[in-house]
Amino acid sequence: MHDVVIRGGTLVDGSGASARVGDLAIDGGRIVQAGGKAGAARREIDAAGALVTPGWVDIHTHYDGQATWDPYLSPSTWHGVTTAIMGNCGVGFAPVKPDRREWLIKVMEGVEDIPGSVLSEGIEWDWETFPEYLDALDRRPKALDIGAQIPHSAVRAYVMGDRAIHHDEASPADLLAMREVVRAALQAGAVGFSTSRTFLHKYDERKYPPGTFATGEEISALGSVMGEVGHGVFQMTANHPAMEGEIPWLEQLARHNRLPVLFNLQQTDGAPDVWKQIVRTLDKARDEGVPLMAGISGRPLGILFSWQSSLHPFIAHPTYQALHALPLPEKLAQLRDPQVRQKIMSEQRGLLDRRAETLFSSFHKIYRLGQDPDYEPLPEDSVAAMAARTGRPPLELVYDLMLENEGRAILYYPSFNYSYENLDHLHQLMQHANTVNSLSDGGAHCGYICDVSMPTFMLSHWTRDRRRGPLLPLEHVVRRQTRDTALVYGLHDRGLLQPGYKADINVIDPDALKVHCPEMVFDLPGGGRRLVQRADGYAATLVNGLPIFERGEATGELPGKLLRGAGPQPG
């Protein structure tokens, strides 16, 4: 008798092969039969009319702090994620000397918009080295499997102290010491090493994380440790318009290590066609078998404006700043006062950096998100188009639109990946063998971005709901966020519905599948706020053969494990 049988579902197995109807049998946390008619089981799940897929493998999440207090890594598990990789973008919490803990929190708060007060309240520091951090994660209960990369900023500060923070060049002795820290982390089970070279990542207003200006010698010295140890992904966030200049050394590192080198690829308005040159490089890498990979989004990186968020066009207006910290009901009462409204609309806002000025005045790229979010909106639905039709100033429209839905309405600004005002280029990128779906940022950007629903959006938008261009095959989209993402990190034991593989599984009602509008909640340690996004349609999510969610409710089962390095090939 089997432990579990998922009966009569449409199996979309993660390989890209055509979907088929059949049973899925599980014993001891592993799949033992995929297709046909399975025998009796101690527990059966009726999947007639439902999709049965591998669990989603999300490789860019920033749950480094949350993993120490939240076994579910919500909201990612609400969207069927069964494996999460963190330690992205060169930021994280190990290694760390005790007197640097609050500084690491400050860096994470600035770079990833995770409230420092939440991290200070929620993290119980019982580690110094990265292997000790992994041990600490191993001890904590988990609903899903998690893996951690060792972050460059923490390594640099651990070895170089204040010299790292001041961006001094690493000495030969520094390089040797940092290499040994990275080596020890990889040998203990780190799944990769991450760094950042983007000028978008700042903390303390104008400071950049250690490693941002590291020399090529330093990056190569640290990145090459993975080739010596034999596993690990080199993951980097760079300045997107200048990405072409980074490609030669990234490609060289991938050739040297014969291991994945993964960089973030986003389309920016200032250089909207750079992605085309990058694709030509990826074509060459694919043809030559070089594991140079671009991490891409399945939709625009969406900045969300609301009266509760960290960013909106009135954030620097002096009158609004006096109201910003008020509880929402009190704030809304003031904002609805005609005199307060007039004062805010007529006053000069405070100083902003150039990017924020552009952000808050690009009304042709600001849209009402609504209760059924549209992440590929039409140009005629923008605030600029609404203003042209009504004759009203666009800033007044923004103010009033954010007061809708009892002051909780959200406006959507597609920051990256929307220069063409459609998603056609993502349709092309998602079919390239050397791109991988990434960048959901489930644990980050608590106050103004909520892309955690990316796995659900991939299915609902790209296989069913898209109206402005071609769809993608269901089997392809499932493979993109199961087998493909697992293999990048060497996790050979998951991402397929085949005998011998881990029983990490989603059972999905395709007709009910949808994402809700993001909402602000206050459920982090110390009452901290964050944007979350809920989903309908997940009938069950299983990890290691045990249901962790059924019909949107947690079951209490915590079968998750800590990943230590790459996973073995089944059988």
Tokens 């002051």 — which residue? 407
Q: CB count, 10 Å around CB of 348? A: 8
**Could you say which residues of the chain have pLDDT below 50?**
none
- The packing angle between helices 394-402 and 338-346, to 10°, is 140
Q: Which residues sit opposite 44 in a β-bridge?
A: 5
How many whole angstroms from its chain centre is CA 372?
21
Q: How far apart are CA 129 and CA 159, in angstroms?
A: 11
CATH label, 87-229, candidates 3.30.365.10, 3.40.640.10, 1.10.3720.10, 3.20.20.140 = 3.20.20.140
Q: CB count, 10 Å around CB of 311? A: 18
How many whole angstroms from its chain centre is CA 84?
9
Q: What pLDDT, on the 0 to 100 scale, is given for residue 241? A: 78
Residue 277 and residue 301 in contact, taking contact as beta carbons nearer than 8 Å = no
Element (H, E) at 504: none
Where do the domains of the chain lie? 2-54+509-527+534-554, 87-229, 309-413
Q: How far apart are CA 298 and CA 304, in angstroms?
A: 17
CATH class (in words) of the domain with range 2-54+509-527+534-554: mainly beta
- Per-residue HEC secondary structure of 221-259 comes to HHHHHHHHHCCCEEEEECCHHHHHHHHHHHHHHHHHHCC
Q: How far apart are CA 384 and CA 421, in angstroms?
A: 14
Q: What pLDDT, on the 0 to 100 scale, is given for residue 243? A: 82
Please name which of 47, 81, 74 lies closest in space to residue 485, comparing C-alpha atoms: 81
pLDDT digits (tens, 9 = 90+) for 107-134: 999 999 999 999 999 999 999 999 999 9
Residue 302 and residue 367 in contact, taking contact as beta carbons nearer than 8 Å = no
Residue 209 and residue 203 in contact, taking contact as beta carbons nearer than 8 Å = yes
Length of the chain: 571
Q: What pLDDT, on the 0 to 100 scale, is given for residue 121? A: 97
Residue 305 and residue 450 in contact, taking contact as beta carbons nearer than 8 Å = no
Question: Which residues make Cβ contacts (< 8 Å) with residue 298, sequence separation at least 6?
Answer: 426, 430, 437, 454, 457, 458, 461, 462
Q: What pLDDT, on the 0 to 100 scale, is given for residue 280? A: 95
Residue 186 and residue 229 in contact, taking contact as beta carbons nearer than 8 Å = yes
Q: How far apart are CA 176 and CA 537, in angstroms?
A: 51
Give the angle subtended at the CA of 108 by the CAs of 103 and 111, to the nearest 5°.
120
| Single-letter amino acid code for the residue at 323 | L
Give the angle subtended at the CA of 153 by the CAs of 455 and 197, to the nearest 5°.
70
Q: What pLDDT, on the 0 to 100 scale, is given for residue 199? A: 78
- Would residue 82 be called left, alpha or beta, if left means φ above 0 and alpha means ψ between -120 and 50 degrees? alpha
Instruction: Give the max Cα distance, the chain.
Output: 73
Q: Which two tokens stand for residue 28?
A: 């001891």
Q: What pLDDT, on the 0 to 100 scale, is given for residue 20? A: 98
Element (H, E) at 485: helix 483-488
Q: What is the pTM of this model?
A: 0.97
Q: What pLDDT, on the 0 to 100 scale, is given for residue 350? A: 83
